[in-house]
Structure 1
Amino acid sequence: MIAAIAFTCAVLLVIILFPSRYSPATTKVSVQVLVLGDIGRSPRMQYHASSIAKHGGRVDLIGYHESPPHPDLLSNPRVKIHPLPPPPAALKSIPFLVSGPLKVLWQILTLFHVLAYKTSPARWLLVQNPPTIPTLLIALIISVLRGTHLIIDWHNYGWTILAGTRGASHAFVRLSKAYECVLGRAAPTANITVTHAMARQLKEPPYSIKSLVFTLHDRPAEIFQPLTSSAERRDFLERLPETKEFASNIMAGETKLIVSSTSWTPDEDFSLLLDALVTYAKDGSSSPIIAIITGKGPQKAYYQERIQHLQRAAQLPNIRIFTAWLTVEDYAMLLSCADLGVCLHMSSSGVDLPMKVVDMFGSGLPVAAYSAYESFGELVKEGENGCGFETAVELAAVLSRLFRDHEGAQELHRLRTGARKEGSLRWDEEWDRVLGRVLGVMD
């Protein structure tokens, strides 16, 4: 139904106002980079825009402007950001059966307007998936009308995310899966995936994509760097409100600093971390822990209440948990100052990867990460740059092993060395090798 609405609205708009087409004479390389989400919290799409501009291309970056984009994009004359108008606030007070289709209709109209009329014709349209509805259909229509080559950047599958809240057998989930499979076959000139496992799946049923599919692994941006001196670490720990009281103990190794970042959504079960810390705290021989959880999202208030309850019940002795929202610069510095990163990402498809781990490796930070999905081993190498776990008990055991004694400190040092090695390959190198020549920005 939604696909039919999208197609009908797009056709009506075309009849009324036919958009201008791309002409190769306009510029050497021009790219529309589209994310139907917050640009500031879409690092991979921001990195695409930065790489294109760095090689002389013109970029129209399109998405919601809810949090600040990377400063380099704001100051780059080759990058123009086009904020999408958010859906009217009144829709939140209407039942979902009505507000859902109206929201999609709003997205159809605003996407089509920005892609077809507010931005100049482009040679390429690079679109993030998911979200899938209505993005893929509108992107396909625009690419046909304007003579633009379409590339889909597959971060995950939209229907598997939806299945996590509504169940795989729900009619809308089945419809969403069919929509994604059909448009995945019909739409793109090329496809980018975040893992080799996803690339293999896209070539097989039910997707059966015949166009070019290649993998562009996430890599850390230059802002994520290992520490160069202990003085740098001390200065930051003494400046950050969450750590200033404990800076001396952290520097001495008496207190351990762990960090986790999240969007506070259902695909990350922070009960695993909280339960693991409760178990860890029962062992009086283990080091005190400062845990900082960064990010914004719908479940933040729920977990903050749980944390307060555990603290009031004295179930977290020698453990302090803070939730924080940091600038990109402070977040990068926090990663480089921490002893261990914790990732609770649970892949809905089994074949995506969490970018937060990539950033941790770029900062030289080893990780303990939830591991029960197929593509996990493409990023985290057990015993080399991190440790996997599936339960709170297993995570507690990892923390106890790494933080208890001299032997644990030696293992943590080995993992940090492995994390630095994995993080040494940067985004620019990977992007130039995989996508630069495809877009024509490199000779």
Structure 2
Amino acid sequence: MHVFTNSPNPWFEPSLFLAVLVGIISIICYLTLPQPYLPLADKPVLDPMEGKKNNSSIKEKKKPGWFRRRRTIQVVVLGDIGRSPRMQYHAISLAKHGARVFLIGYKESEIHPDVLSSPRIKIVALNPAPTFLRSSSKLMFPILAPLKALWQAQDLYRALGYGTPPPRWVLVQNPPSIPTLAIAALVCWFRQTELVIDWHNFGYSILAMKLGARHPLVRISALYENVCARLASGHFTVTHAMARVLKRKYRVTAHTLHDRPAALFRPITVHERAQFLATLPDTAQYAEELSPTAKSPLRLVVSSTSWTADEDFSVLLEALSAYSAQATSKPQLPKILAIITGKGPLKEHYLSKIQELNQEKKLLNVIIRTAWLTPEDYATLLGAADLGVSLHTSSSGVDLPMKVVDMFGAGLPVVGWGNFEAWPELVKEDVNGKGFGTADELFRLFVSLFENSNGLLSVLKRGATEESEHRWDEEWDRVGGKLFKLVKREEDSSSSSSGCFDY
């Protein structure tokens, strides 16, 4: 005889508890996810050219010059905003065309005045990682790098997901790619917004300079960058060469948006030059010698650097030492005042080298000064200089140094490290600049340019002044304005008479 009893399933209560727990977590996650973008939430914005009509009626807003823009845009740089001129220029251009811009990054140095003065740009500051995570030790890199990436990931996720209203687009600078691209792609998925990557270089190629091309982390970084690239809906590159690499390796189509100088960088008059050099602390004591009418004029050379591994500053020091020795035997060669601007981890290392050279009397005909200048003073210094020097070596071979663009904006001829594929996209040999590949080549360029100031240097000066006419606003409108649908396409201008667009 069998007796049946109602014995409860021993797994019932734990299963019920787990189901309730998962449900609660799901609800919390759903309620706390970043708010999604809703197209109708963005209100029409007046075209900047029609700003005086801010109080116009809705009917008046249908007149030419009005655009219905649903444009809230995050511009993201996982670095110092002040040292990211291109991303600041993006923000300024977007704001000029009526977009509401949230510029996200670290506030460590002086920010472009047009960014600070624009009512349409708001800066969302990231919190820097603790000091111990920012060590440059190669030995500790495999341990500290993941910890730093985790710190940056949570802080960036907070800023992108909760620090601003939902954007229509997120424009991200690359590199750094880790963790920027993954976090930006995740938040864009949550918020139903579109991700646009602005490729300045490849993150894995910079990492390879530190760890070596065959290091496992470099290979993982390259794969990660490849995958993240395919998650974006739009891409900018700084060169055609980089766009070709993205097409060939990553199977994505990118729009080349060449760096161009902002209005801050411009050629200056002889009077402005004299006045500036007499007041700038780094040049004031040499102002008379820097005058072109001086009996033995000094030549002013400027180089800006981030004092990092991708700029071998010893090349410039070797070239200047060789020039100083040559000037001793050739009195017709002028002395050089070299001003090096910028901040970075290797600055103290090279300052000690400069001190050694001075003690060894290898810089008798060369004066080297380092400076950290405001954007306005830096721009004027470029306009006052005789020659600019770029030591950017390009880890990928397809990026270009922004500093050369700024120099051309000021009408300053340039000599730079030219042994990489993209160099001819920026510098026209014997027209506005010259390339070099060794310290000896740079030394010979100094001699040939300064020995006869009315020769090649004069030709390069004219070419650089002509190059200064190419400006950021025109380039951005042609490429960036159309991608973000803030500038009318040519075909639209002929098909619409109202001037009002709703994308």
Task: Give the structure-2-normalised TM-score.
Answer: 0.82
Structure 1 window deviating more from structure 2 (250-259 vs 38-47): it is: 250-259
Structure 1 window deviating more from structure 2 (101-110 vs 258-267): it is: 101-110
Q: Which residue of 1 aligns with 2:273?
A: 233
Structure 1: how far apart are the matches of 2:28 and 2:168? 22
Structure 2: how far apart are the matches of 1:167 and 1:101? 18
Structure 2: how far apart are the matches of 1:412 and 1:83? 43
Q: Which residue of 2 aligns with 1:179?
A: 224
Instruction: Choose the corresponding residue for 2:446, options 386, 399, 422.
Output: 399
Structure 1: how far apart are the matches of 2:192 and 2:440? 55
Offset at 1:141?
0.9
Alignment partner of 1:74 is 2:116: yes
Structure 1: how far apart are the matches of 2:291 and 2:177? 46
Structure 1 window deviating more from structure 2 (29-38 vs 13-22): it is: 13-22
Instruction: Choose the corresponding residue for 1:242, options 271, 282, 285.
Output: 282
Structure 1: how far apart are the matches of 2:350 and 2:130? 29
Number of aligned residues: 426
Offset at 1:14?
5.0
Instruction: Choose the corresponding residue for 1:19, options 23, 27, 34.
Output: 34
Q: Which residue of 2 aligns with 1:4?
A: none
Q: How does 1:89-128 map to 2 (within 5 A)?
A: 89-91=131-133, 95-128=140-173
Task: Give the structure-1-normalised TM-score.
Answer: 0.93
Computing the radius of gyration over CA atoms, which structure comes out larger, 1 or 2?
2
SS of match in other structure, 1:223 = coil
Offset at 1:283?
1.5
Structure 2: how far apart are the matches of 1:363 and 1:270? 23
Alignment partner of 1:34 is 2:76: yes
Q: Which residue of 2 aligns with 1:200?
A: 244
Instruction: Judge conservation of contact 1:30–1:59 (CA < 8 Å) in 2.
Output: yes
Instruction: Judge conservation of contact 1:29–1:440 (CA < 8 Å) in 2.
Output: no
Offset at 1:90?
4.6
Q: Which residue of 2 aligns with 1:258?
A: 301
Q: Mark the runs of 5 or more structure 1 residues left unpaired by the alignment.
A: 1-10
Alignment partner of 1:433 is 2:478: yes
Q: Which residue of 2 aligns with 1:131?
A: 176
Structure 2: how far apart are the matches of 1:147 and 1:91? 33
Offset at 1:89?
3.0
Structure 1 window deviating more from structure 2 (68-77 vs 394-403): it is: 68-77
- Identify if the C-alpha distance between structure 1 residues 387 and 97 changes in structure 2 by more than 3 Å, giving closer, same or farther: closer
Instruction: Judge conservation of contact 1:224–1:363 (CA < 8 Å) in 2.
Output: yes
Instruction: Choose the corresponding residue for 1:215, options 250, 256, 259.
Output: 256
Q: Which residue of 2 aligns with 1:272?
A: 315
- Identify if the C-alpha distance between structure 1 residues 163 and 433 changes in structure 2 by more than 3 Å, giving closer, same or farther: same
Q: Which residue of 2 aligns with 1:373?
A: 420
- Identify if the C-alpha distance between structure 1 residues 158 and 12 changes in structure 2 by more than 3 Å, giving closer, same or farther: farther
Structure 1: how far apart are the matches of 2:133 and 2:326? 50
**Cα displacement string for residues 218-258 of structure 1 (whole angstroms, at most 9, x for unaligned residues):** 0000000001x211111111111221121112112621000
Q: Which residue of 2 aligns with 1:421?
A: 466
Q: Mark the runs of 5 or more structure 2 residues left unpaired by the alignment.
A: 1-25, 43-69, 489-503
Q: Which residue of 1 aligns with 2:326?
A: 283
Alignment partner of 1:166 is 2:215: no
Structure 2: how far apart are the matches of 1:33 and 1:39? 10
Aligned-residue sequence identity (percent) comes to 53
